[in-house]
Amino acid sequence: MSRSYIRLTWITLVLIYLVILAGSIVRTTGSGMGCPDWPKCFGQVVPPTSVDQLPDDYQAHYSDIRQKKIIKFANLLHFFGFDERANELENDPSLLVEEPFNAARTWTEFGNRLVGFLAGNAVLILFIWTFIRYRTNRKLLLLTFLNLVLMAFEGWFGSIVVATNLVPWILTLHMFFALVIVAIQFKIMRLAKNRSFQLKLKPAFKYLFYFSLVLTFIQVILGAQVRQEVDFLVMDGVDRSHWIDGAGGDFLFHRSFSWLLLAVNLVLLWLNKKQHYGIPSLKYIVGLLLILFITGVLFSYAGMPAFIQPLHLLIATIMLGIQFYSLDFLRYKRESLIR
């Protein structure tokens, strides 16, 4: 692959991470409903800066629009057999409550959408480039197309997030698909570089690494679940300093699970040194885990400061990405082929 193509895969990855970071900032600042409609914001390409630019009945207008979208999404859930979730949406009058205009929140959400637009176009350009120049590589073509479909799905799902007034489980699902996109993008980058490392790794080391990767993915989702519990506390008007107590068992399980993740990666780091595998990314993974521990301590003992939350999520997803990228080192040729 050309250097320009490989460079585009990295640019796309950075933009995807910026979308995750922007989404976390939006969630932390409570700006998720800064724009009550999608893809425009208050029906405008460039959002308003003052409530004077909006009609007097704008809240009722967007509440009606949201109700129609909720009904459509609930019908979709009924179709796939998720009747309980659908009924929750249909019978929750709080979903139709329209927030008053807040310029800061509106522009924060608009910034999130702008970054998402850039990332989506990067994924589109990457697919077109692959189709024109490298379509003989069927796996690469399929993965770039799959990521394009998932980005489009995430865009549509973003409208559902807005329509359902930030229902926590929908936000968690939104995060899950973002992680899938990150994983696929790293696979695209490995295919673009078209290299394999001739390391003779013991099967136990490989399986332990795969186990660590699964643990990290689960841990990020558990973190999203903790954030979901926090969202419920916010809805109930609980002060930030009491979020940890309110999250209860979910937070404690998430925190305890991190010790298992650290232990597994320390064993991998030790085996890497003992067996002279020379896999450099393992030390970065452990380093990021230690930073996550520090931010976790700040969560517990500093009242969950707002600026830590996006940083915690970003570091966790970067660590997961490095693990995906490290899968390259696990693709080795057998000893008979290395001779």
Sign of the torsion angle spanned by Cα atoms 97, 103, 108, 112: positive
Mean pLDDT, residues 97-115 taken together? 89
Name residues whose C-beta falls within 8 Å of residue 30's C-beta, 6 or more positions apart in sequence.
Answer: 105, 234
pLDDT of residue 337: 33
What is the CB neighbour count within 10 angstroms for residue 97?
12
The whole-chain average pLDDT of the chain stands at 82
In this predicted structure, the answer to whether residue 14 has a pLDDT above a threshold of 90 is yes
Tokens of 145: 């197309």
pLDDT of residue 254: 75
| Model-wide pTM > 0.85 | no
pLDDT of residue 80: 83
Rounded Cα–Cα distance for residues 70 and 170 (Å): 12
On whether the CB atoms of residues 251 and 244 are closer than 8 A, the answer is yes
Domain boundaries, the chain: 1-195, 199-339
Q: What is the pLDDT of residues 282-307, one digit of tens each?
A: 999 999 999 988 887 776 665 556 66
Q: Over 311-331, what HEC string results?
A: HHHHHHHHHHHHHHHHHHHHC
Bridge partners of residue 44, in order along the sequence: 41
Confidence of residue 204 (pLDDT cuts 50, 70, 90): confident
pLDDT of residue 203: 85
Confidence of residue 103 (pLDDT cuts 50, 70, 90): very high
Q: Dihedrals φ, ψ of 54, to 5°?
A: -115, 150
Bridge partners of residue 41, in order along the sequence: 44
Sign of the torsion angle spanned by Cα atoms 37, 43, 47, 51: negative
What is the CB neighbour count within 10 angstroms for residue 333?
13
Q: What is the pLDDT of residues 219-278, one digit of tens each?
A: 887 777 776 666 666 656 666 556 666 566 666 777 778 889 999 999 999 999 988 888
pLDDT of residue 284: 92
pLDDT of residue 11: 96
HSE toward the beta carbon, residue 249, CA cutoff 13 A: 0
Q: What is the pLDDT of residues 30-70, one digit of tens each?
A: 777 788 887 788 888 899 999 888 888 888 888 888 888 88
Mean pLDDT, residues 11-39 taken together? 85
In this predicted structure, the answer to whether residue 88 has a pLDDT above a threshold of 90 is no
Q: Over 191-226, what HEC string results?
A: HHHCCCCCCCCCHHHHHHHHHHHHHHHHHHHHHHHH
Percent of the chain with pLDDT over 70: 83
Confidence of residue 336 (pLDDT cuts 50, 70, 90): very low
Q: Which of 317, 326, 333, 7 is nearest to 187 (CA)?
A: 326
pLDDT of residue 305: 64
